[in-house]
Amino acid sequence: MIGSAKRVLVVNEMKTMRVRSAEVKEQEGFTVARVCDGVQGLYEMRQHIDVVVTDHHMPRLTGLDLLLQSQMAWPDLPVILFSDIEWEETELMEAREAFAWVRQSSDPGVLLSMLALAVEQEVKWKPRHAVEWVGA
């Protein structure tokens, strides 16, 4: 199991997406915390979290805002943007800090692969690397 003893935070306003996403990760051995928006996500990140998977469009704090604020407080915490949005140029510049972007419509194995990379590289990973869409 790739997620043995690793804690993932899933941030998504849609309950069905949170539940479905959590089930896939739990089957791979991850412990999953689920919240419905970025503000709750920031609160939950005060606990030990190994990787964050967040949607973009959410109430109170978008996924990009969550990414930027988490990078200020926890610069080594990998954040994966998991969304179907079309990115504006300014959003793309801000999203460069993400560990990866994964389309929600892609095969679930793509997100699991990105999670595996994120937890393997937890100590070595640094933001500001070239990021590209995964699972387009």
Helices (runs of H) and strands (runs of E) counted in the chain: 5, 6
Domain boundaries, the chain: 7-134
**108-120 vs 15-27: helix axis angle to the nearest 10?**
60
Q: Tell me the three-class secondary structure of 29-67, residue by residue.
A: CCEEEEECCHHHHHHHCCCCCCEEEECCCCCCCCHHHHH
The tokens describing 15, both together, are 């309950």
Helix, strand or coil, per DSSP, at residue 7: strand
Q: What is the pTM assigned to this prediction?
A: 0.82
pLDDT digits (tens, 9 = 90+) for 44-102: 999 889 999 998 888 889 888 899 899 899 988 999 988 876 666 556 656 677 888 88
What mean pLDDT value characterizes the chain? 80
Task: Tell me how far apart the alpha carbons of residues 6 and 109 are, in angstroms, rounded to a whole number.
Answer: 17
What's the CATH code, domain 7-134? 3.40.50.2300
